[in-house]
Amino acid sequence: MQLTNETSYANGTVMIVDDTPGNLALLSDTLSEAGYRVLVATDGLAALEQIDYLKPDIILMDVVMPGIDGFETCRRLKADPSKADIPVLFMTGLSELDNLLRGFGEGGLDYIVKPIRPPEVLARIDVHLALARDKQRAEQALSHSPFAALAVDASGCITWLTPAAKTLLADALPKAEMITIGAYLPEPMLAWARQRIGSAGRDSADAYRSNTGVSASIASCRNLNDNGGGEYLLLLKKDAGEWNLESLKDSLGLTFREAEILMWISRGKTNKEVGLILDSSHRTVNKHLEHIFEKLGVATRAAAVAMVLQRTGPAGK
């Protein structure tokens, strides 16, 4: 592995895969001066080996090289889930349509036509790095959120899912195994999804619900590709269930109206909103809350809600 220097690199890391010394020198100098760290490999196998130790942010890949060519190198790279997200820009003097299409088919995002023009290279790198980073931010946000979503192809094979969706599927369908990208939806959700996809999801009310203790419903199923193919997005959610107000009031020593108010407060409603729902003034709601706090021995709304959820769970049962 070759690095241009040991300073910090604000713009990211670029790997150049090329067996031509002149191209390597020109690109290395251009990228270093622009603030990039530069990694160099002179053939495809060396590039794949280096990426195991240091993952670049983007790759400039020559097409014609000794050993495996750039297309095959890209294919192997994209076959590894831990490396598949690295953007690959091919560098080539080939202009035949078949060659261009093959590059895109193997997972390349763009072409840089030789002879190399440094300003063009920098512009293309900037654009593709910005897109890749936007995608990473979105994926990280989804990975750390409770948003449960997954994408499947027309056969029901999972092509993408959030951690929350994986957890929800496992909870809703205890017999489901290997819920991961590349696997099929577990039955009986698979049969339902295939039926929905086959009917183009016209019946949006036809939600799937498990019959286990933890229920789940698919809130949406829509085509992600306007031409009628591609992937389908499934949005999952837990059913909140109904609150047993009689049980709540008896267990906490509240009146029925106080139990109602506590239920709506637990669902995130403000005092004013609770008043509108129950056809009461917000002052009346405030007075009821004072009595609720006194009976529960707490001083804040948050403490009251926490006590309720500890006793009843999120569904309020």
Q: Which domains does the chain have, with CATH numbers?
A: 13-142 (3.40.50.2300), 148-238 (3.30.450.20), 245-312 (1.10.10.10)
pLDDT of residue 306: 81
pLDDT of residue 233: 80
The pair of three-digit structure tokens given for residue 133, joined into one six-digit string = 């980073």
Residue whose C-alpha is closest to residue 77's, from 69, 220, 269:
69
Q: Write out the DSSP string of 178-239.
A: --STTSBPPTTHHHHHHHHHHTTT--TT------SSS-EEEEEEEESSTTS-S-EEEEEEE-
Residue in the block written with tokens 């419903």: 217
pLDDT of residue 270: 85
pLDDT of residue 86: 93
Residue in the block written with tokens 């076959």: 79
Q: Please compute, for residue 219, the number of CA atoms within 13 A of its CA located in the half-sphere on the CB side.
A: 10
pLDDT of residue 214: 46
pLDDT mean for each 10 residues of the chain (317 residues): 47 92 94 94 94 94 91 91 90 79 89 91 94 83 72 84 80 66 82 77 55 50 55 72 73 88 83 83 89 89 79 52
pLDDT of residue 88: 95
- Which pTM was predicted? 0.56
pLDDT of residue 4: 42
pLDDT of residue 10: 64
pLDDT of residue 177: 60
